[in-house]
Amino acid sequence: MSLKEKIVFITGASSGIGAATALAFASQGVRLLLAARRAGKLAQVASLALERGAATVHSIDLDVRDHRAVQNAIDTLPPEWAQIDVLVNNAGLSRGLDKLYMGKIEDWDEMIDTNIKGLLYVTRAVVPGMVVRGRGHVVNLGSTAGEFTYPGGAVYCASKAAERAINDGLRQDLLGTPVRVTSVDPGMVETDFSLVRFRGDAERAAKVYKGVTPLTPEDVADAILWAVSRPAHVNIARVSLTSVDQANSLLFHRKP
């Protein structure tokens, strides 16, 4: 299915999987609607996207945790950007690796507000328009962590289990419409994920990937693009992907 000139809205687009997804779609000649909190980094992604072939780019400084800001951002889009064809709910993060009974409340709030409530806010703002127009595709970023909980990751894993339920529930609620819904669930991906989790501790973050060949953001972006570009009658419900060094969120092969 040709994506040329389609409007693709990506949240958390300033780095990692979001940025790679923007560039992957740019190569298809789409119109990119990019949102993130870090305006400077988002501007860099927008510039690269234009170089890669995006028809045009419109950027939004947005924190998905603020439901009023999310709704206002969608409601006030210029008319030429209002008819979103593809939504990639990518914004998300993890904080800390504490035992649950020692966890920091502020870390829990940030993960739940971003990974669950932010996902809901953006979906609620965008999908009604897709239903009215009779076209659209929602891609939600899940994780293998949504299937298997790992020590120290209970709240993050719960947030991704919630994504899985929301994704499947949305697909059920859209039955009878042409709007498609896909969850893309990667395992370990080498991005700023661990750096964010450990609040900038680069040494600790580097240990996460030691001895393992992880996925790259481009690997995940490729899966997203593949799912979206299937024929209009085909809905890819879920894509689960890991590197060959990972079996699930608990089992890794680490080379010496």
Task: Give phi and psi for 139, each to the nearest 5.
Answer: -115, 120
**How many whole angstroms from its chain centre is CA 184?**
8
- On the 0-12 / 13-18 / 19+ scale of CB atoms within 10 A, 240 is middle
Bridge partners for 32 per DSSP: 8, 57
Catalytic residue, chosen from 101, 121, 150, 156, is: 156
Around Cβ 104, how many Cβ atoms within 10 Å? 12
Contact 140, 94 (CB under 8 A): no
Tokens for 62?
Answer: 């947005």
Q: Strand, helix or coil at 211?
A: coil
State the DSSP string of 42-67: HHHHHHHHHHHT-SEEEEEE--TT-H
Catalytic annotation on 156?
Answer: yes
HSE-CB of 55 using CA atoms within 13 angstroms: 14
138, 94 in Cβ contact below 8 A? no
Distance, CA of 126 to CA of 88 (rounded, Å): 11
Active-site amino acid positions? 156
